[in-house]
Chains A and B, each alone.
Chain A
Amino acid sequence: GQQVMQIPQYQHVQEGEDFTTYCNSSTTLSNIQWYKQRPGGHPVFLIQLVKSGEVKKQKRLTFQFGEAKKNSSLHITATQTTDVGTYFCAGPKTGGFKTIFGAGTRLFVKA
């Protein structure tokens, strides 16, 4: 079935280092979404990418959608302790109203 895979599962960084998480879909996606979940919290929508090759920035966060619309990445420049949490990518299931979530990348930031 349709799958969205995310790597790495965990990432430990020193504050100030950069961080990247990668997302790969088994099928072409009409859009890709990114969410952040703080420890003990709920997933919060960050951004949606729709166009092939699209790049969007939110302050220190850079999101990319691949040319084939099957992969995506989230890059954080100069991590801060406030970036701690789990980052999920997600894409719509083909032909329906469901969303397929990746397993998430948990980011740990050491001050």
Chain B
Amino acid sequence: AQSVSQHNHHVILSEAASLELGCNYSYGGTVNLFWYVQYPGQHLQLLLKYFSGDPLVKGIKGFEAEFIKSKFSFNLRKPSVQWSDTAEYFCAVMGENFNKFYFGSGTKLNVKP
């Protein structure tokens, strides 16, 4: 079975700092990768996704992620975080039957104003 690892459980940054959240997955075949975000009091929503093509994917709100196949990684980045980016971020890989997602355990980001 596939699995996803997020090594940073809790990250605290000041506004304008750069962000990189790690994500590693365990599947060796063709992968579809995602980052979901959950803002306080809200539901999970899609931040960005990778299916194929350019390994550098751009999402909403200035976020981007880079797929590095050789490292089985899909790290999330943002050059300059804002207080409104405070949320929990989940990396996910789509299952082999394309009917389910495997989620990481999440990273809580706290941005101090």
* A-B interaction: no
Q: Which residues of A contact B (CB under 8 A)?
A: none
